[in-house]
Amino acid sequence: MRRRVVVTGMGAITPVGKDIEAMWQVLRTGGSGIGRITHFDASKFPTRIAAEVKDFDLSRYVDDPQKYAFSGRNVTFAIAAATEAVRHSGLLATQVDPTRFGVYLGAGEGQQDFPVFMKLISEARKDGTIDLEHFTRAGLRELNPVFEMEQEPNMPAGHLAALFNAQGPNLNCLTACAASSQAIGEATEIIRRGDADVMLSGGAHSMIHPFGVTGFNLLTALSTHNDEPTRASRPFDKNRDGFVLGEGAGMLILEELEHARARGAHICGEIVGYGSTADAFRITDTHPEGRGAVSCIRMALRDAGLNTDQIDYINAHGTSTDVNDRVETMAIRQALGNDAYQTPVSSIKSMMGHLIAAAGSVEAITCLLTIRDDVIPPTMNYETPDPECDLDYVPNAAREATVTTALSNSFGFGGQNISLIFAAFEG
């Protein structure tokens, strides 16, 4: 008999709230965390808006924040969200065998030391070229090796293992925008097959820096709706022009059911379905017929043992890009058939932007809160219907509805597709 996996704790650091309840209040009321970029001078960039985490103070979560002085925002966001998740779960160190407690993240790379790099490049520039020998010597002298190590994407998982004495499996996947959803799915499989009893899983990322914005601008993926930041992200709307970059972290405590029962844990919900596929197409483009997304949703339904009419809500990947929204709509229609038109779909990226590697984990938490409160968050800024996007996108206002199952989609560059299904816990 397959081991059941439940969620007993959740934590989030997002542009719309620095804990799950603050975040949820904004999502329910259609607020926005999108504004002008303040992390750096973006005045010359085509995109000058983002969804930043404001007034973040790590000392609210740990006793010695200076210990993480060289860590990137991805690490500090992960620590804060994980601390909230562990507290929320009520899990004490004495209640879990540390060798049966693991970490599986979908965390992105940290932020480079841009001021130092730009200073080194400026000093090494000569006659329009870079003196590489000078640059190398200066770099060895001025760059901090600890800071450089902290940029590796597996650093958040390492820090969390040390912080919570999680001596079990420790992994990180970086499959772009699908990363944290994939981490949750794979962490679930680790518990199902008996290799751990508790997994701390989720994601953390921040790409609101010159390299991140430049890269996505070159891909023409970002919205340039700079004059009205809060209206820039408009998933499924005919006038959508790209996604808005966000940052943050989402963390879940996943626990084997009997382990959770033995300690009297409050159960937030159950993970019942997981699907993972690849488009096997182009690394920068979704397959035009959504073949990977369709098979992924169907795989999750099979894993959960659910029919297409048993999904009460879909939290869409819904990035606000032309192709992604159109293809995701097509995939939902193909996977669910006529039931797609009876199933509410919404995208919280309309309010908090796209958290890249961390997006899926925050959207997973949103699914669990939707199930808890029977409130579906809206897709904001939906004004002009697109004939190719013809589902019920819960436009502009939250909706009360009975939700016992929720499907969350995440699709990433490289053709990675992940679908997770959460359900209200029934003993």
- For residue 173, indicate whether it is catalytic: no
Residue holding tokens 């048993």?
A: 310
DSSP type of residue 414:
T
Coil vs helix vs strand at 214: helix
How many beta carbons lie within 10 A of that of residue 278, not counting itself? Answer: 16
Contact of 360 with 177, CB cutoff 8 Å? yes
Identified catalytic residue from 287, 317, 367, 389: 317
Surface-to-core class of residue 164, CB atoms within 10 Å of its CB (0-12 exposed, 13-18 middle, 19+ buried):
buried
Identified catalytic residue from 177, 296, 367, 389: 177
Q: Which two tokens stand for residue 187?
A: 């962490």
CA–CA separation, 423 and 413 (whole Å): 28
Which residues share a beta bridge with 277?
417
Surface-to-core class of residue 236, CB atoms within 10 Å of its CB (0-12 exposed, 13-18 middle, 19+ buried):
buried
- For residue 354, indicate whether it is catalytic: yes
Which residues share a beta bridge with 105?
172, 202
Q: φ, ψ for residue 223 (rounded to 5)?
A: -65, 145
- For residue 177, indicate whether it is catalytic: yes
CA–CA separation, 384 and 66 (whole Å): 49
CA–CA separation, 88 and 58 (whole Å): 18
Q: Which residues are catalytic?
A: 177, 317, 354
